[in-house]
Structure 1
Amino acid sequence: MRGVELTTTDIAPTDAAMATDVAPLIRTLRPALTEDAFTAFATRAHAQGLVFTAGYDPAGTCLAVATHRVLATSRGLLLYVDDLVTAEHARSGGIGARMFAVLEERARAAGCTRIELDSGVTNHHAHRFYHAHRMAITALHFGRAL
């Protein structure tokens, strides 16, 4: 996989690729998200500025998806990554690193000074990936179900 070329494109909720390419990968991270719930989420989140970026190999197979948005915060502009997922068969082949590089390029182009994301506390593989890409643990994220 290391030599695989990756082409990225943004996918809109009305694009057929949202259901065929993006949704299956996002649902590997969020298995409780039904097809209908994903469609509703994608439409609503896109309207709020969420961008769905898919990474394709030369054969047109979607190998990775990143969802992200630019946020204005009291600390300046940042690119917040909601999701970054690589297809299971393509993991550890450099695809995630290529997607991360795309996110970094987009952040710089948008005038962001940071990239931020949350990662589940038990997702140790992702933590290793983020540490390898010079990301630091800078906060704890707290939540409470209502």
Structure 2
Amino acid sequence: MSLTLPITDVTPDDWRMAAHLRPLIRTLRPALTDADFDRFAVEAHAQGLVFTAAYDGDGTCLAVATHRVLATSRGRILFVDDLVTDPGHRRAGTGARLVAHLTARARDARCDAVELDSGVTNHAAHRFYHARRMRITALHLALDLTGGPGAFAAPRPPLDHPRRT
């Protein structure tokens, strides 16, 4: 791999979103259908999510990161929602270069930190992030409101009634 790695932002209306980014994100999130991904990409982009892809010199998409700058009580952060490298191109330095790119963007945006969540069983990713001097600073908790298997979901009030607090 050359020392330069073309890294570019891709918007939902760009043909590369469906052709390159969607398949890679779905390796990380296999339950996401093509249609679900397309809806997610449009809605999340409108909310400020940026889709950044790393390509090789032949135009093959090697890795994708989705991220946004957030103002939080902890300061400005560049939050990485997803970061995935094509399984056939892992351990070639692409993910590290993409993290370095995101870190530079965070500095340019005057962020105080780069943060992300990583699944508790994704030990290979944990090793990768620790090697980039990232540390565990929080435990992410979630309450599933969809009523799916194993979820605790309170009955939803009808839409014409205000939600009780």
Please report the TM-score for the alignment, with normalisation by the length of structure 1.
0.97
Q: Any conservation in 2 of the 1:25–1:86 contact (CA below 8 Å)? A: yes
- After superposition, the C-alpha distances for 1:57-88 in whole angstroms (9 at most, x for unaligned) are 00000000000000000111000000111011
Moved over 2 A (4+): none
Match of 2:14 in 1: 15
The residue type equivalent to 2:34 in the other structure is: E
Match of 2:88 in 1: 89
Alignment of 1:35-74 (within 5 A): 35-74=34-73
The residue type equivalent to 1:18 in the other structure is: M
Match of 1:110 in 2: 109
Count matched residues.
145
SS in 2 for 1:22: helix
- After superposition, the C-alpha distances for 1:34-63 in whole angstroms (9 at most, x for unaligned) are 000000000000000000000000000000
Q: Any conservation in 2 of the 1:8–1:55 contact (CA below 8 Å)? A: yes
Answer 1 or 2: which has greater helix percent: 1
Q: Any conservation in 2 of the 1:82–1:117 contact (CA below 8 Å)? A: yes
The residue type equivalent to 1:110 in the other structure is: A
Identity of aligned residues (%): 65
SS in 2 for 1:14: coil
- After superposition, the C-alpha distances for 1:78-102 in whole angstroms (9 at most, x for unaligned) are 0000011101111011000000000
User: How large is the Cα RMSD of the aligned pairs?
Assistant: 0.9
Deviation at residue 140 of structure 1 after TM alignment: 0.3
- What is the distance in 2 between the residues matched to 1:4 and 1:36? 36
- What is the distance in 2 between the residues matched to 1:4 and 1:32? 35
- What is the distance in 2 between the residues matched to 1:124 and 1:64? 19
- What is the distance in 1 between the residues matched to 2:88 and 2:131? 20
Q: Which runs of 5+ in 2 are unaligned?
A: 146-165
**Bigger CA radius of gyration:** 2
- What is the distance in 1 between the residues matched to 2:9 and 2:34? 20
- After superposition, the C-alpha distances for 1:100-130 in whole angstroms (9 at most, x for unaligned) are 0000000000000100000000000000000
- After superposition, the C-alpha distances for 1:8-38 in whole angstroms (9 at most, x for unaligned) are 0100000000000100000000000000000
SS in 2 for 1:53: strand
